[in-house]
Structure 1
Amino acid sequence: MNEQDYSAATWRLLHDHLVQATPEQRHLYVARSNYGDNGRALAWLADQPDLDRATALMLFWSVGAGWHAQYETIDAVPEYARDTHQLIARVQQRYLAGFYADHGIAFDPGHWDGAGPHEHAPEELQRMPPQMLQAVDGDLAIDPFDEAYSEDYDDGLPMALVEQLYELADAHIAWEAANPSAA
């Protein structure tokens, strides 16, 4: 399975999962996702009006909003970080505009084990809208790190899906080994 087929197959599996995932499952995925290689899925989630607003706020902080707050313009952002910067700006704009749904999930960016404003000095966050620093009230408190030792999830995904992704990775690795000049 060449790189293009591998990428397409993994995206299909992940996309199918995220389309049917509950708000709680999406929240868990955002919290536990490997941000370095899940940009496409996170960007897709950011475009969904049925994404819970608490999850959108978590996504905003998790992909580095605090670090990106230092830049006044996109031109000041290093080239390698521009896609993420634009994602953060899109989530912020939509969050402030009320684009995201309210499924009752609670989230406080300043009081959780992931990235948040608590990692930055106040002067670093001066350009941050106050709403992005405030907790989202909700009746459903999800501790995304409760599952850290669970056998049911890995990287925020159900193990059945993870197994399918591993199978695709194995097929891709086998193809590369059999076709060294094409890899």
Structure 2
Amino acid sequence: MNEQDYEAAKWALLHAHLVQATPEQRHLYVARSNYGDNHRALAWLADQPTLDRATALMLFWSVGGGGHAQYESLDEVPDYAHDTHQLIGRVQQRFLDGFYADHGIAFDPHHWDGAGPHELSASERERVPAPLLQAVDGEHAIDPFDEAYDADYDDGLPMPLVEQLYTLADVHIAWEDANPQTA
């Protein structure tokens, strides 16, 4: 399975999961996923009006929303960070516009184990719109770093899906090993 087919198959599995995932599962995915290789999935989630507003706020902070507030235009953003900066801007604007749903999830960017306003200087915090610095109230808080999830999830994905992704990766690696001139 060449790289293009592998990426397409991987996305098909992940997309199918995200489409049917509960708001809580999406929240867990955003919190625990590997931000270095999941831009496509996070961008897809950012485009969904069914995404919980608490999850959108976590997404904003998790991908560096606070740090990107320093840039006044895309021209100031390093080339390697353009896609992330545009994602942050989209999430920020949609959050402020009330685009995202309210499924009752609570999230406070000041009190969780991920990136948040506490990592910014006072001048950096001033550049972040006030609603993005405030907690989202909800009936239930989800602690995405609760050890109870460790046996059932990996990188925010349920273990049966993770096993499918590992199998897919094994097939891809075996193909690359058998076809070194095209890999």
Look up the match of 1:17.
17
The equivalences for 1:115-154 within 5 A come to 115-147=115-147, 150-154=150-154
Tell me the amino acid that sits aligned with residue 175 of structure 1.
W
Look up the match of 2:107.
107
- Displacement of 1:136 in angstroms is 0.1
SS at the partner of 2:103? coil
Look up the match of 2:61.
61
Look up the match of 1:95.
95
* Sequence identity (%): 80
Tell me the amino acid that sits aligned with residue 46 of structure 2.
A
- Displacement of 1:132 in angstroms is 0.4
Asked whether 1:177 is paired with 2:171, we answer no
1:94-138: CA deviation from partner (whole Å, max 9, x where unpaired): 000000000000000011000101111111122210000000000
1:51-79: CA deviation from partner (whole Å, max 9, x where unpaired): 00000000000000111111111100000
1:156-177: CA deviation from partner (whole Å, max 9, x where unpaired): 0000000000000000000000
- Displacement of 1:140 in angstroms is 1.0
Look up the match of 1:5.
5
Cα distance between partner residues in 1 of 2:148 and 2:7: 27
1:137-157: CA deviation from partner (whole Å, max 9, x where unpaired): 001110000047621100000
- Give the alignment's TM-score, normalised by structure 1: 0.98
1:105·1:141 contact (CA, 8 Å) conserved in 2? yes
- Give the alignment's TM-score, normalised by structure 2: 0.98
Runs of 4+ aligned structure 1 residues displaced above 4 Å come to none
Cα distance between partner residues in 1 of 2:97 and 2:28: 24
SS at the partner of 1:28? helix
Cα distance between partner residues in 1 of 2:160 and 2:116: 31
1:147·1:153 contact (CA, 8 Å) conserved in 2? no
Tell me the amino acid that sits aligned with residue 66 of structure 2.
G
Unmatched 5+ residue regions in structure 1? none
Cα distance between partner residues in 2 of 1:140 and 1:149: 16
Unmatched 5+ residue regions in structure 2? none
Asked whether 1:47 is paired with 2:52, we answer no
SS at the partner of 2:61? helix
Superposed CA RMSD in Å reads: 0.9
Report the CA distance shift for 1:148/1:35 in structure 2 as closer, same or farther (over 3 A).
Answer: farther
Asked whether 1:82 is paired with 2:82, we answer yes
